[in-house]
Structure 1
Amino acid sequence: MRADELDRLLGDPWDDGNPVGYAGVLAADERQEMHAEGERLLDRAVFNAEFVPAAHGGRLTRADRLAELLGTLWRRDPCLGLGYGFSSFIASVNIWTSGSTEQQHQVAQLLLANKRIAAAFHELDHGNDFARVEAAAHPVDGGWLLSGRKEIVTNLRRAEAMVLFARTSDTAGSRSHSQFLVTRDGLPADRVRDLPRFGSSGMRGVDLGGAEFTDCPLPAGALIGGLGAGMEIALRSYQITRAVFPVMFIGPLDTALRTVLDCALHRRLYGGAVADIPYVRSVVARAFADLLAADAYAAVGLRALHLAPEVMGVFAPAAKYLATRILLDSFHDLRSVLGANAYLREGRYAIFQKMARDVAPATFAHVSRAACLVMLLPQLPRLARRSWQVDPSAPGELFDLGADLPPLRLDRLVAGMPKHDGVMGALTEIAEQEPPDGLVGRFAMRFVGELWTLRAQCAALGPADLTIDASPAAFALADRYTVVLGAACALAVWRRGGDRYPADALIGVLDRLNDRLGGPPVLTETEREGVQGHLFDLAVQRYRDRRLFDLTARRIPG
């Protein structure tokens, strides 16, 4: 399935007669239910096949195409995007990377039959600190006995199977936990107690449930990848899911930006259209630039899964962190344009408040932004001393979005620390080749200068600043690194794309990223006004042409 095919299936979102349009999505949200008609539509399309590698009978061949499909679904309804599909992908990817042949066949058959698989990892007392998970599986003759709780797990009560993360050793360390694949009908009903749904302000249609296990028997064949391999499997799998996450976020931001433009162009205020107000035009231009920045960043990460999977231990957490930060900031700014309309749960602009509520938990669920920075911290000194401004430029094909890719090789993902991030060499090369007095050259030199500063400061980090107990200054270094990495991706994508992407859009993207560093501006006020004016006009043109705001500019129904 292509993304434009899925868009045609979903139809015009603004058509009140469309059962999977915004009216139906909002009605289901008010009932705090999954969108039943949306699920039936996806069942008919066997959408789960997108999560199953082609070698196992599915349609998964390219990570970028999967991400584009999920982004399309999230653009319509994040509850459908998470509750129907992505939650099963989070669970199944552990099987594709580490499961036995029998387990892979079992999961493929379940998904291709429109069944669900839950990822039962989370426990409220420990959040993203999976090393402290308390649910424990003890060995017995013929298998294991599981006791403990899993909480706020998507689809746990309605999934036909689950991947369980449990402690299998009392010894501290990375080999103390394992993963298990079990089917719900294979568990004794009297040993599993479903917990009530956990209330939430966002994702209200998603079944965020839990379960309590009491001496629940698990068969010996349920173990995934070997005893004590749970953390290692998760670290490899998260490299895939974190790479896909940012593109899904771009979907709701596209809907939010489109909704705001619809309001700004048609609502009258102070004797003219809201869009005539300079502040509004600036907010729209900045949000558009933010969306393009996140798209370029995410697209490079998805291509790296195929071309340079060894760097994903750095790139995936960095992309998840920065993309979600951009997303939340953009929603906050766009809300100021809608005013009270941003909170109304009915009417033409009601989809905005649903999108805003649904994306908020998605930015810290699965793996939080803080956890992403914690994963980056221990890698920064090594990268600073051995990689930055030393590595050669990355291959151009890494930045040629939409170009052919080799098959996705999940077995090439590694849980250790990469030797380099695969991108910074491109930043240095572009800075050397661009005219220093041109707009692109000025920004390239600005980000190279920031990289020099980061190199000195990160190389000086001590052991105490490489863990969760690191100082705020150390976390700030990791934050700044993700911004420079994002700028390197944007510069390289635009250079490789030639005339495919508007030149003014790149300047707007780099200006927004530079603002996140908190340093001096690169553009004069006049230059910034000109760039934002061009971006606003381009956003309006995309809106009127019914095209996406991302780098594809693909036409959508409406």
Structure 2
Amino acid sequence: MLGASAERKPVPPFGERHERLRAEIREFVEGELRPHADEWERARSFPDDVFRRMGERGLLGLKYPREYGGRGGTWVDEAVLCEELARCGSGGVAAGIGAHIGIATPPVWKFGTEEQKQRYLVPAIKGEKIAALAITEPDAGSDVASIRTRAERVDGGWRLSGSKTFITNGVRAHFLVLAARTRPEGGHRGLSFFLVDTDRPGITRRPLEKLGWHASDTAEIALDGVVVPDDALLGEEHAGFYLIMANFQWERLLMALGAVGSMRVLLELAIARARARRVRGRPLGSFQAIRHRIAELATVLSVGEALTYHALRLFADGLDAVREVTQAKLFTQRAAVAVADACLQIYGGAGYTCADGVERALRDLRLGPIGGGTDEIMKEILGRQMGL
């Protein structure tokens, strides 16, 4: 913990209830996830059973209604989980869990029919079915209007053809929440979403190698004439762009929260290292250069935390938080990479040789300025928000 600051009262929108939830989640993360982080990184995967164990504890449905097996909580409850997952020791594990609860299942909850919720959301909350959001394509990343995957009407349903890439949980997923073009003309107005069971004929999935997130499967998915029934359509036909936009803010806010949690863990590690390592008979932290560097890192963490919590308060209150969420995502992702790099420097050679997972954190966090909308897209959004 960060000294006396850890004893302060929770900062809104977090309250005492959230701190009790935080303690519950931290016990699970440190007891059942962190001890296996190195093993799962080497295996390039983590067991599906992690989802089932989290489902048994109600951790996959914190914000979902009790009628679907959730806890009936709020967005802020899930924010606590996102922060605490940073303590699992593997960005890949946190990403796999986060993709399931934070970006793949919310559209089913918001836009699904009752039958779709029973078929997909309920088992997803239990951890019996794993979900993946399939939007990105080889030539359509942040520019979702350029999606080329096609959905054509056939008797009794739709035929899907195209490809997706960089899909978190794409290899292990039991179903995809997939964006496809239902009008031949380009632009935003011809997109629709479909719930696609991955055991359907015509689906091919291939894992991708990555710089970081080694324990998370990231897939390239090909769809060759995959036929789905009429009731696979999620939400209204041609209204998929609005579905995408509805979830972007929460995805970006979760990324900011994850970065804050990661910076907090890294700073704790750096302080512990500075206290324990002795140089010339003195603790490393007694040298002014190290002491001042850690003070700077603590300030970066505080700025990121304040900006992110402000955005979370607005979002949780149902207010327009596009500017604040975008700023939080933009600032925290680069800040987390810089904090990880600085902490590795404090560790010295030990940091470069995987001690305490610091080098892994640096690799894992580098995705932040790319995923969920690149830094450049965030700046474009903010520029337009200011009338430019």
**Residue aligning to 1:247:** 257
Q: Which runs of 5+ in 2 are unaligned?
A: 1-19
Q: 1:108 pairs with 121, 124, 146, which one?
A: 121
**Residue aligning to 1:194:** 205
**Residue aligning to 1:72:** 84
Q: Secondary structure at the match of 1:365?
A: coil
Q: 1:93 pairs with 80, 102, 106, which one?
A: 106
Q: 1:354 pairs with 331, 356, 360, which one?
A: 360
**Residue aligning to 2:13:** none
Distance (Å, rounded) in 2 between the aligned partners of 1:220 and 1:316: 36
Distance (Å, rounded) in 1 between the aligned partners of 2:40 and 2:94: 14
Distance (Å, rounded) in 2 between the aligned partners of 1:52 and 1:151: 28
Residues 117 and 100 (structure 1), Cα distance of their counterparts in 2 relative to 1, 3 Å cut: same
Q: Secondary structure at the match of 1:47?
A: coil
Q: How does 1:106-145 map to 2 (within 5 A)?
A: 106-114=119-127, 115-145=129-159
Distance (Å, rounded) in 2 between the aligned partners of 1:56 and 1:175: 31
Q: 2:39 pairs with 21, 27, 52, which one?
A: 27
Native 8 Å contact 2:92 2:214 kept in 1: yes
**Residue aligning to 1:233:** 243
Q: How does 1:143-542 map to 2 (within 5 A)?
A: 143-185=157-199, 187-188=200-201, 191-195=202-206, 197-309=207-319, 311-345=320-354, 349-381=355-387, 461=388
* Larger Rg over CA atoms: 1
Q: CA RMSD in A?
A: 2.2
Residue 51 of structure 1 and its aligned partner are, at CA, apart by: 5.1
Residue 291 of structure 1 and its aligned partner are, at CA, apart by: 1.4
**Residue aligning to 1:500:** none
Distance (Å, rounded) in 1 between the aligned partners of 2:330 and 2:72: 25
Q: Which runs of 5+ in 1 are unaligned?
A: 12-17, 382-460, 462-558
Residue 35 of structure 1 and its aligned partner are, at CA, apart by: 5.9
Distance (Å, rounded) in 1 between the aligned partners of 2:226 and 2:51: 31
Residue 49 of structure 1 and its aligned partner are, at CA, apart by: 2.0
Native 8 Å contact 2:351 2:359 kept in 1: yes
Residues 336-391 of structure 1 deviation map (CA, whole Å, 9 limit, x = unaligned): 2122222112xxx331112221121134223222222222222211xxxxxxxxxx
Number of aligned residue pairs: give it: 367
Distance (Å, rounded) in 2 between the aligned partners of 1:99 and 1:41: 25
Residue 245 of structure 1 and its aligned partner are, at CA, apart by: 2.1
Q: Secondary structure at the match of 1:362?
A: coil
**Residue aligning to 1:82:** 95
Residue 170 of structure 1 and its aligned partner are, at CA, apart by: 2.1
Q: 1:52 pairs with 41, 46, 64, which one?
A: 64
Distance (Å, rounded) in 2 between the aligned partners of 1:142 and 1:317: 41
**Residue aligning to 2:12:** none
Residues 96 and 143 (structure 1), Cα distance of their counterparts in 2 relative to 1, 3 Å cut: same
Normalising to structure 2: TM-score of the pair? Answer: 0.88
Q: Secondary structure at the match of 1:2?
A: helix
Normalising to structure 1: TM-score of the pair? Answer: 0.62
Residues 119-174 of structure 1 deviation map (CA, whole Å, 9 limit, x = unaligned): 01111233222111111111222221111111121112211111001112222322
**Residue aligning to 1:433:** none
Distance (Å, rounded) in 2 between the aligned partners of 1:231 and 1:372: 18
Native 8 Å contact 1:153 1:210 kept in 2: yes
**Residue aligning to 1:3:** 22
Runs of 4+ in 1 over 6 A off after TM superposition: none
Native 8 Å contact 1:63 1:244 kept in 2: no
Q: Secondary structure at the match of 1:242?
A: helix
Residue 234 of structure 1 and its aligned partner are, at CA, apart by: 0.7
Native 8 Å contact 2:259 2:333 kept in 1: yes
Native 8 Å contact 1:177 1:229 kept in 2: yes
AA matched with 1:192: I
Q: Percent identity?
A: 23
Distance (Å, rounded) in 2 between the aligned partners of 1:106 and 1:39: 17
Residues 1-43 of structure 1 deviation map (CA, whole Å, 9 limit, x = unaligned): 81111112334xxxxxx66435x31232123222677556424
Native 8 Å contact 2:83 2:261 kept in 1: yes
After alignment, is 168-177 or 44-53 more displaced? 44-53
Residues 53 and 296 (structure 1), Cα distance of their counterparts in 2 relative to 1, 3 Å cut: farther
Residues 29-80 of structure 1 deviation map (CA, whole Å, 9 limit, x = unaligned): 1232226775564244242122534453312522222111121112223222
Q: Secondary structure at the match of 1:318?
A: helix
